[in-house]
């Protein structure tokens, strides 16, 4: 990483590698337990679209299916616009890496939609909840056990991690926290995609047990356009997440992200694997 490059931009950096193909590599800054943080994988896939010369409009939705952990080292992103309409464009994406026999192995698949938004009637039915200002709250601080967490300034409002990992049943799964990149960085679509996956597994909060868990599929819906992201600047984003159902080894989780002015920037939904 050069002195001028933010760790996030270094992590999602891609080089053209042929038609609809880009070359990237993992970085230790966003490493999780067995691979890169899922949010940085989502951001890297979206970066391929943002760099693509044939892109129409701005991101509307992104669905990432984590087929397996991305191994340390180089990888290839394929981003193909499979159909372009007047106002929407539909994409298929994948991340592959060389396997033991040299043949490419698929680690991640994804689909996305970009769109040319029209300036028309708009309204919100999900207002930002009341929360103390981020500068009045203590950040979680560095050294939380995985490298990628040190890349975020996280300030819990409600639903922090259990104080005791004793298996006691929690009252609910709601978490609210202010978040932004560390060091601070102006918000863009790729950073917003990564922020949608910052929340720790809801099963940990509900059970007060650190059971193995990992995202299987994540969908992010982008409600903001470039103007709203530029207005957000490098300020904190208020995130809220909760689970809806835990059953037979999987649970789902919804999340909402607002900027400091109360604009709903994105919502997300994911299905997560957990082990007893």
Do 149 and 96 form a contact (C-beta atoms < 8 A)?
A: no
In a domain, 125, yes or no: no
Query: Where do runs of H (alpha helix) occur along the chain?
Result: 7-11, 38-51, 189-195, 202-207, 226-232
How do 58-66 and 74-84 pair as beta strands? unpaired
For residue 189, give both structure tokens.
């679509």
Q: What is the pTM of this model?
A: 0.95
Q: What is the CATH number of the domain that holds 204?
A: 2.40.160.210
Res 52 pLDDT > 50: yes
Note down the domain range covering 231.
7-116+130-274
For residue 122, being part of any structural domain is answered with no
Enumerate the β-bridge partners of residue 221.
61, 267
> How confident is the model over 162-208, as pLDDT tens digits?
888 888 887 789 999 999 999 999 999 999 999 999 999 999 999 99
Whether 123 maps to a domain, the answer reads no
Whether residue 210 is predicted with pLDDT greater than 70 in this model: the reply is: yes
Please report whether residue 153 resides in a domain. Answer: yes
The domain tally of the chain equals 1
251 within some domain: yes
User: Quick check: is 158 in a domain?
Assistant: yes
Q: Is 1 contained in some domain?
A: no
Whether residue 94 is contained in a domain is answered as yes
- Token pair in block for residue 152: 């975020």
d(CA 215, CA 64): 10
Name the band, by pLDDT with cuts 50, 70 and 90, for residue 100.
Answer: confident
């Amino acid at each position: 990483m050069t002195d001028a490059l933010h760790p996030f931009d270094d992590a999602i950096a891609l080089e053209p590698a042929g038609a609809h193909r880009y070359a990237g590599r993992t970085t230790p800054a966003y490493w999780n337990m067995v691979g890169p943080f899922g949010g940085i994988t989502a951001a890297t896939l979206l970066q391929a679209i943002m760099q693509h010369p044939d892109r129409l409009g701005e991101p509307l939705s992104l669905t990432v299916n984590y087929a397996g952990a991305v191994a340390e080292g180089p990888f290839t992103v394929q981003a193909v616009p499979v159909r372009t309409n007047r106002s929407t464009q539909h994409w298929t994406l994948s991340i592959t890496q060389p396997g033991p026999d040299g043949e490419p192995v698929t680690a991640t698949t994804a689909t996305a939609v970009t769109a040319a938004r029209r300036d028309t009637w708009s309204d919100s039915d999900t207002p930002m909840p009341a929360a103390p200002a981020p500068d009045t709250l203590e950040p979680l601080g560095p050294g939380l056990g995985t490298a990628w967490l040190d890349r975020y300034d996280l300030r819990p409002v409600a639903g922090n991690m259990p104080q005791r990992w004793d298996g006691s049943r929690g009252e609910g799964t709601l978490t609210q926290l202010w978040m932004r990149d560390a060091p601070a960085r102006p918000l863009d679509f790729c950073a917003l995609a990564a922020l949608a996956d910052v929340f720790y597994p809801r099963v940990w909060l509900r059970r007060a047990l650190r059971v193995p868990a990992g995202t299987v599929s994540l969908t992010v819906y982008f409600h903001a356009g470039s103007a709203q992201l530029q207005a957000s600047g490098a300020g904190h984003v208020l995130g809220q997440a909760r689970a809806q159902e835990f059953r037979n080894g999987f649970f789902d989780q919804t999340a909402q992200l607002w900027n400091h002015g109360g604009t709903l920037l994105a919502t997300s939904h994911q299905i997560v694997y957990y082990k007893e």
